């Protein structure tokens, strides 16, 4: 098994999640961010939702990988980022 899931109780606002896992005596630390973006801030509806998401990701901190993109409503999306391993 190379994956596990942790349920985050509420995603009503931006969250920072830190998880430490002990595997065979070694501790691994994982850092996640759940952030909400308003698509109208990125040109929606004149620009497609896909292009809005591309623009958000292109402008985001390069030290974070995109982990998941979730629709919240017609005008907002939640994107989960995972900090890149050093």
Query: How is the chain split into domains, by residue range?
Result: 33-83
Residue 81: strand pairing partners: 33, 66
Q: What is the pLDDT of residue 64?
A: 96
The pTM of the full predicted model, rounded to 2 decimals, is 0.81
Express each pLDDT in 9-66 by its tens digit: 666 678 888 888 888 999 989 899 999 999 999 998 899 999 999 999 999 999 999 9
């Amino acid at each position: 098994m190379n994956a596990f899931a942790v349920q985050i109780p509420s995603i009503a606002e931006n969250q920072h999640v830190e998880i430490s896992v002990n595997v065979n005596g070694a501790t691994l630390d994982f850092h996640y961010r759940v952030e909400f973006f308003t698509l109208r801030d990125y040109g929606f509806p004149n620009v497609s939702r896909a292009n809005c998401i591309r623009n958000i990701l292109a402008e985001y901190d390069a030290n974070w990988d995109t982990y998941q993109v979730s629709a919240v409503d017609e005008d907002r999306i939640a994107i989960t980022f995972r900090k890149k391993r050093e």
